[in-house]
Amino acid sequence: MYGTSPGKQAGPPTGPAPWPKRPGAKPSTPWRRKVFREHLGLQRAGLAIGIDIGGTKVAAGVVDTDGQILSEARRSTPGSDPRAVEQVIVELVAELGADHRIRSVGIGAAGWMDLDGGTVLFSPHLAWRNEPLRANLQRLLRRPIFLTNDADAAAWAEWRFGAGQGEERLVCITLGTGIGGAMVLDGRVERGRFGVAGEFGHQIIMPGGHRCECGNRGCWEQYASGNALGREARILAAANSPVAQELLAAVGGRPDRITGAIVTELALAGDAACRELLDEVGEWLGLGLANLAAALDPGLFVIGGGLCSAGDLLVEPARKAFARNLTGRGFRPAAGIELAALGPNAGLIGAADLSRVSRRLRR
Ligand SMILES: [Zn+2]
């Protein structure tokens, strides 16, 4: 159907990996996990600044111990130059720190951090490649710095203050242009053996399917993200189907201008074709969640990100598809699927809170 036989995926990149083969000292043991938990000071007082670095904007806020944002500041992301991004962080901390006594600074960015939390191994939107960001910022800011993946930060915020409170095994999915993923298990962010867990968006759900940025074909995020919604709507509109007339009218007859956000807006306003498109994306979402439940058995999935503005139009079909595809359905308890509670600020709230409570990781 898509021109490539099932299972034929592009191979991994060749050449030496830019990080050590075995980061960290020893494998995790129950004793080491206990030590980790003891380093969490969930009741630790003081204000922290959280900074969420996105592809287009850098959002920052002063966050208190209840996860409330006391003041906010924003800048455009200054291209991809690592030094310019550091400078923007310094400016934001100076601006927000002028009126508040700040204990620490947490930085959340898309990408892979090493397990120690000192180095950005790779960031898709920025030019960070093996960048010792924490050391650079500590030198510039002279404050404790905590560096984390943006999806991990958002999951932590939902677990501490949002829709995931009280859940021992929480999986968070962020639906934006792609799919971000993160887990909070037994009160800690689970990052895997090498620090790069949670790339759920790249589980292959349709062998030989749509090509993904990661190089493979048929990844989940090609079927259950905002980008997927926009692509399917453009295909429908380009086919000049009578059901897509309202959609075409909304973009002045130009299918190439259709985005996932426009489809969501029309669906909420009652357009039947756009509701159908969201229904399909919701079904793919539920199917992927059933796969994750088979592997991880969480108590709750929290779904956040821009696509969530569709609300029940997205989540209801996801719940149905999840129930239909869940391994052992009917003979086991099933995880709940709920919308995130904290909105687009979850990343900066989580980064700030982690910088305050996770002393071990901000040395
Ligand atoms: Zn992929």
Q: What is the mean pLDDT of the chain?
A: 87
For the residues 127-139, what does the mean pLDDT come to? Answer: 89
> Cα of 125 to ligand 1 centre, how many Å?
16
> Cβ(230)–Cβ(221) under 8 Å?
no
> Cα of 270 to ligand 1 centre, how many Å?
32
Which of 248 and 2 is assigned the larger pLDDT? 248
Question: Looking at the predicted structure, is the pLDDT value of residue 117 above 50?
Answer: yes
Q: 304 - beta bridge partners?
A: 174
> Cα of 222 to ligand 1 centre, how many Å?
8
- The tokens describing 320, both together, are 């149905």
What are the phi and psi torsion angles at 18 (to 5°)? -80, 5
Q: Which amino acid is at 49?
A: I
pLDDT band at residue 359 under the 50/70/90 scheme: low
Which domains does the chain show, CATH number per domain?
39-162+345-362 (3.30.420.40), 169-341 (3.30.420.40)
> Cβ(230)–Cβ(258) under 8 Å?
yes
198-202, 240-244, 276-280, 321-325: range with lowest mean pLDDT:
240-244
> Cβ(282)–Cβ(315) under 8 Å?
yes
> Cα of 136 to ligand 1 centre, how many Å?
31
pLDDT at position 89: 95
Sign of CA dihedral 123, 147, 138, 47: positive
pLDDT at position 2: 42
pLDDT digits (tens, 9 = 90+) for 70-110: 999 999 988 778 899 999 999 999 999 999 999 999 999 98
> Cα of 302 to ligand 1 centre, how many Å?
21
pLDDT at position 128: 83
* CA pair distance 248, 311, nearest whole angstrom: 23
In residues, how long is the chain? 363
> Cα of 211 to ligand 1 centre, how many Å?
8
> Cα of 269 to ligand 1 centre, how many Å?
32
> Cα of 200 to ligand 1 centre, how many Å?
9
Reported in sequence order, the residue ranges of the chain that DSSP labels E, i.e. its strands, are: 47-53, 57-63, 69-76, 102-109, 112-113, 120-122, 129-131, 145-149, 169-175, 179-185, 188-190, 300-304, 336-339
> Cα of 199 to ligand 1 centre, how many Å?
9
> Cβ(55)–Cβ(76) under 8 Å?
no
> Cα of 221 to ligand 1 centre, how many Å?
7
> Cα of 278 to ligand 1 centre, how many Å?
21
